[in-house]
Structure 1
Amino acid sequence: MFPYLKEAGKANFQDRYVTKANELLISWDGKHCSSIGLIGAPLSKSSISHSGAAFAPQAIRQALSFYSTYSIESGIDLADVTVTDYGDIVMHPTDIAASQRRIAETIEQVVALQPKSMWIVLGGDHSITCPVVSGWQKQKGTIGIIQFDAHHDLRNLEDGGPTNGTPFRRLIEAGIVDGSRLVQIGLRDFANSRAYTEYGKQCGVTMYTIEEVYRLGIQTIIEKSMQMLSGVDAVYVSVDMDVLDQAFAPGCPAIGPGGMDSRTLLHAISLLARYDKVQAMDIVEIDPTIDFRQMTSRIAASVILQFLKGKKERV
């Protein structure tokens, strides 16, 4: 009736020859599921520093609208890919442990519904990785984890409980993942303690500092990591966005200099996604309330697209 009115939030300009990446997301109707599922875990009350990461899942979804579905580098168009968006897990308003149990139970349920699907989980702070992996692993058997992070996240639980600094210690101590099947990539100088580095080494964790990333090359590290994890049934990738230098990710609560550049991270995700054993990924530690021009959320959206592209380029 009114030709110049549009639905709020919709783009003003539409090009018939361009498919926007956010159009790949189809809300779950309770019946139909695609081979790729996306789910939000908006928990940030467990962060040891101020964090609005609970707002990140929606910010990342919205940031997909800044991209097309066409990869000029590979000639691949993702326009025919459907990602089932299951929405966000409802967090308990005050109880962190209850929220983490809700995450584990929900992930276990959706993965049981679609055990062969690839999964993308949007945090939230890094504490969500422990319950997500706990629920996901029950359908997968022996797993390996590749963690992009400036920090070990192997802190003790006595000083603060299950925070965003403890997920991988919890997974190791619960026997969900063996330390020898955890690879940490991008550890930053002066961002960790000797005690947790030694703990990781004692558990058999493989560690690559950011200096080693640039000296050895990310492709070499990815190939060596996947070869080392060749005996597992499935691999989970955890992307803590603070692995990036603060110049690329101003929306991370724990920014710092000397980190990874965005191109290296995106290339790593594309390489990993080509492996059939890589079957799930999370993206964590973005606080949209402190981001600048959605820079960090835009990189997260690009991480999703590189993951989807890599799945079309499987080795």
Structure 2
Amino acid sequence: MSVYPYPMLNRPTMIWSKQTDEQLDLTVNEWIETIGELTPNWKDYDITILGVPLSKSSISTSAASENPDAMRRAWRSFRTYNLDEDVDLARLKAIDLGDVKQHVTDIGFTHDQIQQAMVAMREHHPHTIPLTLGGDHSITAMLIKGWKQAHRNETIGILQLDTHFDLRNFAEIGPANGTPIRQVIESHIVEGNHVHNIGLHGFFNSLALKNYADEHGVHYTTMKTVRTKGIHQIVHDALAQLEVAVDTIYLTVDMDVLDISCNPAAPAATPGGMRTEELFEAVQIAGEHPKVKAMDLVCLDPRKDVGELGVKSAVHTMLSFLTGVCKRKERS
């Protein structure tokens, strides 16, 4: 491909220095490549990373727009080798595409840019797994719409790790971060019974939204059930149900799924959520599944963080998913 296929993106501003000689011990920032003046050979890559610095559409006050770069800065604190799994992510090739261009006030324009970014990724290098760093959860609806636009004949399912249903009424509150799952259900892109939400709990969802989920067949598992059966079993069961019903499973991780003690940086952080090790295991299991073809990570506000607790948990979540992808690739 001789031209840069992303007019809707700003190229990465964070360009890390690389060692010219082959290294056996890479930090993540040394491993993930960035787009410079030369257009890369797209067929060489397994993972494309996209930043979406949007938080104007958040219901809660949020600077989640700063999360993509906060995560990028934290890459240097992590190495590509995962001791727990004896896996080196450097076996994969990953490239940072940069960030979706934002309009100062027009959320609708920015949402269209997000959708077209996904379309471009699927048209120009459909073999890669797109990994998106948000931004608030409103971006998920647009990324899934972009996937559907590029793959019109595919049936899409969603594996959602979240404290909330995110089934609020778009007609009432607009394109906010509480609406993405309802948006894709009501636009007939995803069937309700092809949504599996894991992580809801406590006093943070309304009865009306629970009733909507039941009416549309949305599958949901509370943290009480997760603690009874174990995250490993719950995620495997959800994937087993999805794999026979859909062509593509889209993984969306709202970082407010973590307990507030593990992640104070989520604008809607709550007590009673997942522990970090449960989240890391869940996304690694998802990464190993061949039908999980895209992931996003949303709703993290670095300004609310304490000692980079939330940001580093988000990077670890991203790398845990890629550990699963690496193991999948080795098996295939």
Q: TM-score normalised by the shorter chain: which range applies?
A: over 0.9
Q: Tell me which residue corresponds to 2:10.
A: none
1:136 aligned partner: 147
2:16–2:29 CA contact under 8 A, matched in 1:
no
**Residues 1:158 and 2:171 are matched in the alignment:** yes
Identify the residue that residue 63 of structure 2 maps to in structure 1.
52
1:99-128: CA deviation from partner (whole Å, max 9, x where unpaired):
111110111112211112111001000000
Identify the residue that residue 291 of structure 2 maps to in structure 1: 277
Amino acid corresponding to residue 29 of structure 2 in structure 1: N
C-alpha distance 207-96 of structure 1, shift in aligned 2 (>3 A): same
Corresponding residue number in structure 2 for 1:255: 269
**AA of the residue aligned to 1:283:** L
Aligned position for 2:51: 40
Q: Map 1:266-305 onto structure 2 (within 5 A).
A: 266-305=280-319
- Check if 1:309 corresponds to 2:326: no
The TM-score, its normalising length taken from structure 1, stands at 0.93
The sequence identity of aligned pairs, in percent, is: 38
Q: Which residue of 2 aligns with 1:25?
A: 32
Which residue type is aligned with residue 287 of structure 1? Answer: D
Task: Return the match for 1:88 from 99, 102, 106.
Answer: 99
Tell me the distance in 2 between the aligned counterparts of 1:69 and 1:9: 15
Aligned to 1:213: 226
2:279 to 260, 265, 271: 265
Query: After superposition, what is the alpha-carbon deviation per residue over 1:8-53, rounded to whole angstroms, capped at 9, x for unaligned?
Result: 998xxxxx76310122211134342212100011110000110000
Letter of the aligned partner of 1:116 in structure 2? Answer: H
Q: Any stretches of 5+ residues in structure 1 without a counterpart?
A: 1-7, 11-15
1:186 maps onto 2:199 in alignment: yes
Tell me the amino acid that sits aligned with residue 93 of structure 2.
T
Matched, 1:196 2:203: no
Is the contact between residue 35 and residue 117 of structure 1 (CA under 8 Å) also seen in structure 2?
yes
Contact 2:91 2:326 survives alignment (8 Å): no
* One-letter code aligned to 2:81: Y
Structure 1: how far apart are the matches of 2:144 and 2:39? 23
Deviation of 1:227 after TM superposition, in Å, equals: 1.2
Looking at structure 1, the residues matched to 27 and 279 of structure 2 have their Cα atoms a distance apart, in angstroms, of 22
Amino acid at match of 1:223: H
RMSD, matched Cα: 1.8
Greater displacement, 298-307 / 238-247: 298-307
Q: Partners of 1:137 and 1:30 in 2: how far apart? A: 27
Of 193-202 and 153-162, more deviation after overlay is shown by 153-162
The match for 2:134 is 123
Greater alpha carbon shift after TM alignment, 245-254 vs 215-224: 215-224
**Could you say what secondary structure the match of 1:86 adopts?**
strand
CA distance in 1, matches of 2:324, 2:144: 22
Give the C-alpha shift of residue 308 in structure 1: 1.3
Query: 1:30 & 1:294 partners in 2: Cα distance?
Result: 33
Q: Which moved more, 1:18-27 or 1:204-213?
A: 18-27
What is the Cα deviation at residue 62 of structure 1?
1.5
Contact 2:259 2:270 in 1 (8 A): yes
Q: Deviations over 1:147-188 (max 9, x none)?
A: 000000000123320100000000000011000100000002
**Deviation, structure 1 residue 79:** 2.3
Give the superposition deviation at 1:98: 1.1
**TM-score, reference length from structure 2:** 0.88
Aligned equivalent of 1:246, options 260, 274, 281 = 260
Instruction: Report deviation, 1:74.
Output: 1.7
Contact 1:270 1:310 in 2 (8 A): yes
Give 2:96's aligned amino acid. D
Q: Secondary structure at the match of 1:150?
A: coil
**Which stretch shifts more, 235-244 or 110-119?**
110-119
Distance 2:16 2:187 in 1: 44
Matched residue count: 305
Q: Could you tell me how far apart the structure 1 residues matched to 2:300 and 2:261 are?
A: 14
2:75 paired residue number: 64
**Are the counterparts in 1 of residues 16 and 30 from structure 2 also a CA contact under 8 Å?**
no
